[in-house]
Amino acid sequence: MIWGEMLLDREVHTACGSDMMSDVLAFVKDQSVLLTGLCNMQAIRTAEMMDIICIVFVRGKVPDEAMIQLAREREIVLLSSGHRMFSACGLLYEKGLRGGAPYR
């Protein structure tokens, strides 16, 4: 847990794993979890635009203080995982979290 423990009771509906924020902008619905290895302000800003309520930084990435402050202001939960993207997404899928409708 990096920030947002008091917000962990919020419900999420889907998850998205991507390091390409253009894909996140194209496919993510609101109240999602974003899993990414992109550890810069762009990830926080994208989450804000798409009403993503939680970002999980994979591969042990940890955001800097400016990113944490922006996430606090926007009430976006920040987590870090040592898992690679594929494994982290698989763990969430295994627990019942889905990625939304298939791409067509």
Core vs surface per residue 22-34: b (16+ CB within 10 A) or e:
eebeebbeeebbb
Element containing residue 71 per DSSP (H, E): helix 65-74
Given this model, what pLDDT does residue 29 score? Answer: 77
Q: What are the structural domain ranges in the chain?
A: 5-94
Which residues have CB under 8 Å from 70's CB, separation 6+? 41, 44, 45, 48
How much is the pTM?
A: 0.93
Given this model, what pLDDT does residue 22 score? Answer: 94
CA angle 51/23/6 to nearest 5° reads: 30
Give the 3-state secondary structure of residue 79: strand
Element containing residue 56 per DSSP (H, E): strand 54-57
- Summarize pLDDT for 3-62 with one digit per residue, the tens: 999 999 999 989 999 999 999 998 887 789 999 999 999 999 999 999 999 999 999 999
Given this model, what pLDDT does residue 104 score? Answer: 58
Q: Which CATH entry fits the domain spanning 5-94: 3.40.1390.20, 3.40.640.10, 1.20.1250.20, 2.60.120.260?
A: 3.40.1390.20
Lookup result for tokens 């496919």: 27
